[in-house]
Amino acid sequence: MKAYFGPYGGQFVPETVMYALTELDQAFRYYRRDRQFKKSLAAYLRDYVGRPTPLYLAEGLTGKLKGPRIYLKREDLTHTGAHKINNTLGQVLLAKAMGKERIIAETGAGQHGVATATAATLFGLSCAIYMGETDIKRQAMNVTRMKLLGAEVIPVGSGSRTLKDAINEALRDWVTNISNTYYVIGSVVGPHPYPTIVREFQYVVGKEARQQIQKAAGRLPDVLVACVGGGSNAMGLFAPFAKDAVRFIGVEAAGSGIESGKHSAPLCAGRVGILHGTKSYLLQTDEGQISEAHSVAPGLDYPGVGPEHSSLKDTLRAEYVSVTDEEALEAFQLLSRTDGIIPALESSHAVAFVCKRASEFKKEDIVVINLSGRGDKDLDIVAQYLKEASHE
Ligand SMILES: *Cc1c(COP(=O)(O)O)cnc(C)c1O
């Protein structure tokens, strides 16, 4: 497997981490072709996660927009309510095959922590989740979930007490306990081989969608649309269509607006640098310090993006656009009313883009949106927004 996507990716880590990455690379190369491993993963994806997820023609939204035919890939219907479980289940199964006894991860909003704790419990491995103290306060519900699932949540009090500090602590733990510990990364980010591993475990999303749309519409779609935080649900949808004449559109979070500086759109408005062991577009100051990301969607609030997306941007294979918090909140409400589906705020970004540009598509065009998760987790945020909006 290659460590670079064009000039992006690589392994910008201390020497002590290299041993662990090499071991992981070798194990993944072996098990991805191992019949028993593949059979076991497929069975858990079917019986535990609930795959295949449906591909649903959103009649309400399609009718309302009078635009292209819109299909939703329903990752919101998976166990735990988002695509993240596809990856954590795969990685924890890999950890078990490698003989590891202990799982660690870091989490910002808590969603990756919950998905990791779920998979660790399923396979009977102990689990520790690093989380910044600020995030622990903001995401009390997910902390409760992780604890219920039997994980230990380790508070990180250094730096800004958020995700990037939790990443540092998780890496330190991994290097110290490498012989029995597996580090689960939650998106197509981090040093090689993680971006490839996570893409391969999310590949199932696009593979199913490709078969489903051919059956439903008799042909491939014209456009695929997915939100981009780290970029795993987008990579999972795009990858199986890599050689097809299908447009890829990744939607980043413009937060309060790109010009406000408060956004989470490294591909649209960032510069190339190194974060989390990988070279990619990211949000940074003139001095090269990582800037804070802003988005109403907890899962899009990350200052970097997967290196493969940076390459797809430069080669123009994919287009990257952004939508604001406000536009995403509108789409959240719209899809709830048109089709009775409450989408995650992250996925609402992808929906919002299609709503905004509906008139630019032809009526017979087929658009597939990855509905990466369900919105139940976001009700407090949305209720707060609606309250403020009604007072204005
Ligand atoms: C975490 C999350 C995302 C963002 O992660 P990607 O790696 O960009 O897919 C998107 N949607 C939902 C529902 C999430 O939980």
**With 80 as the cut, is the pLDDT of residue 144 above it?**
yes
Tell me the mean pLDDT in the region 217-245. 98
How confident is the model over 51-72, as a mean pLDDT? 97
pLDDT, one tens digit per residue, over 171-188 is 999 999 999 999 999 999
The DSSP-derived string for 72-140 is EEEGGGSTTSBTHHHHHHHHHHHHHHTT--EEEEEESSSHHHHHHHHHHHHTT-EEEEEEEHHHHHHTH
372 is catalytic: yes
Is the distance from the beta carbon of residue 250 to the nearest atom of ligand 1 less than 6 Å?
A: no
pLDDT at 246 over 80: yes
Any atom of ligand 1 within 6 Å of the Cβ of 187: yes
Q: How far is CA 298 from the centre of its chain?
A: 11
pLDDT band of residue 390 (cuts 50, 70, 90) is confident
Residue to substitute in 185, 188, 232, 302 for testing ligand 1 pocket (most ligand atoms within 8 angstroms of CB): 232
What is the arithmetic mean of pLDDT over 338-355?
98
For residues 14-19, average pLDDT: 91
Check residue 105 and give its pLDDT: 98
**For residue 164, what pLDDT band results from cuts at 50, 70 and 90?**
confident
**Which has the closest alpha carbon to 146: 123, 171, 174, 112?**
112
Q: Given pLDDT bands bounded at 50, 70 and 90, which one contains residue 191?
A: very high
Helix-strand-coil percent breakdown of the chain, rounded to 5? 50, 20, 30
Q: Name the residue with tokens 């990988």.
A: 278
Burial (0-12, 13-18, 19+ Cβ within 10 Å), 126: middle
Rg (CA), the chain: 20
DSSP class per residue in 185-200 = --SS-SSTTHHHHHHH
**Residue 351 Cβ < 6 Å to ligand 1:** no
Is it the case that residue 16 has pLDDT exceeding 80?
Answer: yes
Three-state SS for 241?
Answer: helix
Asked whether residue 1 carries a pLDDT value surpassing 90, the answer given is no
Yes or no: say if 348 and 329 are a contact pair by the CB < 8 Å rule: yes
**How many angstroms is it from 21 CA to the middle of ligand 1?**
24
Verify whether residue 377 is a known catalytic residue.
no
Give me the chain's average pLDDT, please.
96
d(CA 127, CA 149): 9
Among 308, 346, 351, 369, residue to substitute to test ligand 1 (most atoms within 8 Å of Cβ)? 346
Using pLDDT thresholds of 50, 70 and 90, give the confidence band for residue 198.
very high
- The answer on pLDDT for 87 being more than 90 is yes
Per DSSP bridges, beta strands 8-9 and 55-57 are: unpaired
